[in-house]
Amino acid sequence: MAVKGKTAKKTTKSAVKKKKVTKKKTSSKSSVSSKLKKSKKASTLKVKSSASSELAASVDPYALVRLSTKRQVNSVEEKKAKLRARRIHWNKEKEKIAIDMLERYTGHDLKDFQQQIILTNFHYYIERFNVLLDDAKYTKGSAFKASSSKKAQVTIIEFGVGSAMAALIGELVSVVNPKAVLFLGLAGSVHPSLKVGDFVLPIASVRAEGVSDHFLPPQVPALPTFKVQKFVSQILVEHGHDYRTGTIHSTDFRFWEFDDRFKQNLIEERVLAVEMETAALFTACFVSKVNIGALLLISDCPMKKGGIKTKSSAKEVFKKYTDIHIELGIEAMADIAERGEKVRHYNW
């Protein structure tokens, strides 16, 4: 009987164990089934949501278009914000540095600058400015020279030669918030009808100088401000001076006169003349919200035999023509100041 009792206990224990295992199996099965049910519910919800979105799209077929347009608008606004951050008039930190640089480079305080500004490459233009205007205040900075007349309400800045300096001064003068800026530069003729001493009023410039690519995509033309050119044109006519209008080629290639391929390209472009600054000035001033114009004086005719500028021929040009050039520039800028007309007819 004792043996039977032990056997019965073992049997009972094994039965209990089997029940526990069975419970575990059933519980695991139930958990699996619950998970399956949940996944089925989730998939059902997804199907329902996708079905509802399809239904919404079918009810409002422009919903997706509006969503896409909204994303594009946000992307465009982000790009605009990045562009603005690069410009002086949107970037207070850059504006602060630009003011400091302009004062340091010219020797002028910001308050000394007048609302009409003349830009030039040559020191003689400032010397002549100081002779013509008895109240001229002349300063020499670390890189540029400047002179201002409160009577004429005009400032002149000698900024050097080349597109890099032209683009720099185009940005820097924007802190003055000038009414108008006029570049008085020298150019070499390309068109055979032009001769030394002729005036050219450019309506556009070919951007072949490299610097302007930092400001605008290459397909954007370099253009002056129409109203500034109109004022200069009127002054030229009033004084009986003939002038030509057309496109100029701006280059950073100084010894182009000895490159036949380059010269052939100029002919194919149908440009009037070639120089080094106008494209950079027009472009930098445009993005900096500066009204810019240019009056160019033909100083040499490199496309003709013996027409390349020399030391002696340059002296002759300055002796005969540059006085007229600077006087016309001063009168045009003073005229803009006196008339008080708007140079730009819209707000940026």
pLDDT above 90: percentage of residues in the chain: 69
**Higher-scoring residue by pLDDT: 186, 12:** 186
* 3-state SS class at 111: helix
Q: To the nearest 10°, the Cα dihedral for 42, 48, 50, 56?
A: -150
Q: Give 50-82 pLDDT, tens digit per residue.
A: 445 444 445 566 676 666 666 776 777 777 777
CA distance 246 to 236: 16
Q: Give 141-160 pLDDT, tens digit per residue.
A: 999 999 999 999 999 999 99
Note the pLDDT of residue 78: 78
Q: 143 vs 34, 125, 283, 339, CA distance in Å?
A: 81, 17, 22, 33
Q: In this structure, how many other beta carbons lie within 10 angstroms of the beta carbon of residue 27? A: 10
187, β-bridge pairs: 298
Q: Give 108-136 pLDDT, tens digit per residue.
A: 999 999 999 999 999 999 999 999 999 99
Q: Give 252-279 pLDDT, tens digit per residue.
A: 999 999 999 999 999 999 999 999 999 9
Q: Give 161-218 pLDDT, tens digit per residue.
A: 999 999 999 999 999 999 999 999 999 999 999 999 999 999 999 999 999 999 999 9
Q: Which tokens go with 86?
A: 């690069």
What single-letter amino acid sits at 225?
A: T
Render 188-214 in DSSP notation, one character per residue: EE-STT--TT-EEEEEEEEEESSGGGG
DSSP H stretches of helix in the chain? 2-59, 63-86, 92-106, 123-132, 163-172, 226-238, 260-269, 278-287, 311-320, 322-339
Note the pLDDT of residue 342: 74
Note the pLDDT of residue 67: 67
Q: Which tokens go with 234?
A: 């009127």
Residues 6+ apart with CB under 8 A from 141: 103, 104, 105, 106, 107, 108
CA distance 313 to 308: 9
Note the pLDDT of residue 234: 94
Q: Give 280-318 pLDDT, tens digit per residue.
A: 999 999 999 999 999 999 999 999 999 999 999 999 999
Contact 343, 225 (CB under 8 A): yes
Beta strands 145-149 and 154-158 are antiparallel
Q: Calculate Rg over the CA atoms of the chain.
A: 38
Contact 271, 206 (CB under 8 A): yes
